[in-house]
Amino acid sequence: MLIKRDFYINGQWVATAAPHDCIVHDPSTEEPCAVISLGGQADTDAAVAAARAALPGWSATSAPGRLELAERILAAYTARADAMAAAISLEMGAPIDMARSDQVSAGTTHITNFITAFKAFEFIRPLGPQAPQTRIAFEPVGVAGLITPWNWPMNQIALKVIPALLAGCTMVLKPSEIAPLSALLFAEVLHEAGVPPGVFNLVNGDGPGVGTQLSTHPDVAMISFTGSARAGIAITKAAADSLKKVALELGGKGANLIFADADAEAVKRGVRHCFNNSGQSCNAPTRMLVERPAYARAVEIARETALATRVASAHEPGRHIGPVVSAAQYAKIQALIETGIAEGARLVAGGPGRPDGLNRGWFVRPTVFADVTPDMTIAREEIFGPVLSIMAFDTEQEALEIANGTPYGLTNYVQTADGPRRNRLARHLRSGMVEMNGVSRGPGAFFGGVGASGRAREGGHWGIEEFLDSKAISGWFGD
**What is the C-alpha to C-alpha distance for residues 14 and 26, in angstroms, rounded to an integer?**
26
**Residues 104, 193, 110, 44: what is their CA dihedral angle, to the nearest 10 degrees?**
90
Q: Directed axis angle between helix 181-193 and helix 81-92, to 10°? A: 160
Given 91, 177, 249, 382, the catalytic residue? 249
End-to-end CA distance of the chain: 61
Please say whether the beta carbons of 211 and 72 come within 8 A: no
Is residue 122 among the annotated active site residues?
no
Residue 5 is predicted with a pLDDT of 59
Cβ-count burial 361-396 (b if 16+ within 10 Å, e if not): bbbbbbbbbbbbeeebbbbebbbbbbbbbbbbbeeb
Q: Which residues in the chain land under pLDDT 70?
A: 1-5, 17-19
Given 282, 291, 435, 466, the catalytic residue? 282
Pairing mode of beta strands 433-436, 411-415 = parallel
Task: Provide the 8-state DSSP code for 453.
Answer: G
> In what helix (H) or strand (E) does residue 414 lie, and over which residues does it extend?
strand 411-415
pTM listed for this prediction? 0.97
Residue type at 312? A
> Three-class SS of residue 142?
coil
Pairing mode of beta strands 411-415, 346-349 = unpaired
Residue 123 is predicted with a pLDDT of 98
Residue 16 is predicted with a pLDDT of 80
Rg over alpha carbons for the chain, rounded to the nearest Å, is 23
Residue 302 is predicted with a pLDDT of 98
pLDDT in tens, 71-95: 999 999 999 999 999 999 999 999 9
Please say whether the beta carbons of 417 and 263 come within 8 A: yes
Please state, in angstroms and as integers, the Cα–Cα distance from residue 89 to each residue in 14, 53, 106, 384, 465, following that order.
Answer: 26, 36, 14, 18, 32
Is residue 401 among the annotated active site residues?
no
